[in-house]
Structure 1
Amino acid sequence: MNKTVAIFEPIYSRDQTLNCAEFLPLVRTDNSRPEWREFKILIDMYRNGDHLRHDYTGLFSPKFTLKSKISGAMFIEFAQRQANADICFINPFPQLAYWSYNVWMQGEHAHPGLTRAAQALLDASGVDISIANTPRHGPASLAYCNFWVGSRRFWDEYVGGTLVPIADFLEANPSHEAALAVMTDTMHTDPAPFLPFIIERLFSTYVSLHPELSRAAYRFDASDVRDYCINDFEKLLFDRMRGKIDEADAAGAFSPALVEQMDTVCALWQKHFFDFYATRPHPHTGQPVSLG
């Protein structure tokens, strides 16, 4: 018997319709803390016990199909086949694994100051995660969007045990230095503070630190990954880095020299990204990159 997979898509206005007909509408009448973005909805879902009503539960943005290049039905079918998994997910940016050792290397280049703000938030919230000691994020743990569905166990351990303490801290201490730091605006295709980018990266971080959790990642072959590159420069980087990164992932060993090379390539990629999309619309938003 297939497990039940409930994926909710947030509905923010009366004239908004579901982008994925297979998803469930989650009407948002409470627009408090909009700067938290999907983090607020995940917390509300957990506190409401929404994760207890299905075998797998998730929250996907209306841009799921645009970013992932697959239908909602395809992902649900994939998740239903993973009978013993605690989490099933898809990473709509698989190319980033070829020039970023983990989500925090990419995050620090994309949003300077992110790792310092994130560690201060984790420490203040009592969450025992060291960003500096985060391991490699390869295809088995990497996800740059909240495109995951989790079992009740995963919701309790990750959302309840990691995200809720962060929300509790921010709600109780809005003037704390760590709280103010994560609300600082950062570069993005539309105005946004550090917080949602921190939360987004905690998924891969948590999964990589908990090997006891059974996970199922939607896999791409090499030609698929190249198709996810959003411009010619990304395709060039992928072509140049592919062999050595695949070899290192297969061996489970990244030399310091390779990690340093990835950091350099990641810096070059980010510089090109901001320069290129400063005057061009980003394919996922239709807007240029700006400082919030």
Structure 2
Amino acid sequence: MSAVAPHIRIFQIHYHPEQVAQLDPAFVAYDNTGDSSPLLEFNVFRKIAASGLAEGVDLWGALSWKFSQKTGLSGQELINTIRVNPGYDVYFCNPFPETEALFHNLWCQGETAHPDFLNLSFDFLQAAGLPTASLDELSPSWLFAAANYFVATPDFWQNYLRFVGDALAQAQANLLPPARIVLFSSLADPRSMHAEASYLPFIIERLFGLFLILHGDKYKAFKYLAREADTPAPNEHLKTLSAIKDKAIATQDNWLAGCWLNYCRTYVALVHGRAWARQTHATAMPTRLQLCGAPPMVHSQSEVEEHVGH
């Protein structure tokens, strides 16, 4: 007797009428016109959870109207991936695989896009009563998750939303006034690439990985792969860099981690230029190598496909 297919409902968020034509028919359109919350997608998650729109489903999510543009996947392809890989509590993606190869972790990557991101993130995590070690740790590629492209069980959502909500409340209560002002400011978006967003959504985005670290023993996670879309597919150097870093963490090998760092610096200087390497990339990297001690087990689509191939 075949297993019953999970009931999946994935919403697709749009903010303007002209975006409707770009929505995927496999998703449920979610009109977020007029919502000016600085929390961006996280506020949508909370509204959906509170509204009852996701009642009775096994898995749900709310993705950007740019989902296909960023991942190269159609809505039906995502749903099919979930259905052929059943039994997980959360399915997530990182549409920017280059970051997995070239940065210690996503917090460090944030420093290259949002001024003084690491210092503010440290203040935020400390004020929220959360561990700050993840800001410096060398994290495995399977912990990188950007753009809030995840679909999860109601139980996962309930606990994740509570986790982030508690962190926000604690941080706002305990942050010093100057840091709180910066947190809500548009200084996070100096190039106006994110509609002058504050630091909040970029910090929240990275709390997903921290949630997996802290609660990975409770939830089974599956990382699905983006295809080449807006972001070029990783070349052989990037694939090798990710593999070296992951191996160093898995074996707790500091020498191998040092090899990754030297290779990474050389690649960045050659591809992005020495000026960017010195002035931007280097300043975002911790001064010492600290391996992520016990990362949660996350199954990736590449691992599953490799196993099936054999």
TM-score range, shorter chain: 0.7 to 0.9
The structure number with the bigger radius of gyration is 2
Return the offset for 1:170: 7.4
8 Å Cα contact 1:98-1:242 kept in structure 2: yes
CA change 1:132–1:88 in 2 (3 A) is: closer
SS of the residue 1:66 aligns to = helix
Write out per-residue CA displacement over residues 103-135 of structure 1, whole angstroms, 9 at most, x where no aligned residue: 1121122223112222322333x3423244665
Equivalent residue, structure 2, for 1:39: 42
Aligned equivalents of 1:205 and 1:261: distance in 2?
A: 26
Equivalent residue, structure 2, for 1:12: 15
Equivalent residue, structure 1, for 2:181: 180
Which among 156, 159, 166 is matched to residue 157 of structure 1? Answer: 159
- Normalising by structure 1, report the TM-score: 0.75
Aligned equivalents of 2:59 and 2:120: distance in 1?
A: 31
8 Å Cα contact 2:26-2:76 kept in structure 1: yes
Which among 116, 140, 149 is matched to residue 113 of structure 1? Answer: 116
CA change 1:204–1:218 in 2 (3 A) is: same
Return the offset for 1:27: 2.1
Aligned equivalents of 1:31 and 1:171: distance in 2?
A: 21
Structure 2 unaligned blocks of 5 or more: 280-310
Equivalent residue, structure 2, for 1:287: none
Equivalent residue, structure 1, for 2:72: 69
Aligned equivalents of 1:262 and 1:102: distance in 2?
A: 16
SS of the residue 1:123 aligns to = helix
Aligned equivalents of 2:41 and 2:102: distance in 1?
A: 27
Aligned equivalents of 2:179 and 2:267: distance in 1?
A: 27
1:202 and 2:199 correspond = no
Equivalent residue, structure 2, for 1:130: 132
Return the offset for 1:5: 1.5
1:1-292 matches, cutoff 5 A: 1-14=4-17, 16-17=19-20, 19-28=23-32, 31-33=35-37, 35-124=38-127, 126-132=128-134, 135-160=137-162, 162-168=163-169, 176-184=177-185, 185-186=187-188, 187-188=190-191, 189-190=193-194, 191-212=196-217, 213-219=219-225, 227=228, 230=231, 238-250=235-247, 252=250, 253=252, 255=254, 256-258=257-259, 260-261=261-262, 264=265, 269=272
Equivalent residue, structure 1, for 2:304: none
Write out per-residue CA displacement over residues 59-117 of structure 1, whole angstroms, 9 at most, x where no aligned residue: 10000000001111101111223322110012111122111121112112222311222
Write out per-residue CA displacement over residues 133-166 of structure 1, whole angstroms, 9 at most, x where no aligned residue: 6654434222111000111221122112x22124
Equivalent residue, structure 2, for 1:283: none
Return the offset for 1:13: 3.6
Q: How many correspondences in the alignment?
A: 262
Equivalent residue, structure 2, for 1:281: none
Root-mean-square deviation (Å): 3.4
Aligned equivalents of 1:100 and 1:166: distance in 2?
A: 25
CA change 1:76–1:107 in 2 (3 A) is: same
Aligned equivalents of 1:246 and 1:37: distance in 2?
A: 33
Aligned equivalents of 2:253 and 2:211: distance in 1?
A: 20
SS of the residue 1:2 aligns to = coil
Aligned equivalents of 1:83 and 1:51: distance in 2?
A: 19
Aligned equivalents of 1:229 and 1:31: distance in 2?
A: 27
Equivalent residue, structure 2, for 1:286: none
8 Å Cα contact 1:22-1:72 kept in structure 2: yes
Aligned equivalents of 1:133 and 1:174: distance in 2?
A: 18
Aligned equivalents of 1:118 and 1:141: distance in 2?
A: 18
Return the offset for 1:204: 2.0
Aligned equivalents of 2:108 and 2:264: distance in 1?
A: 7
* Matching residue's letter, 1:46: A
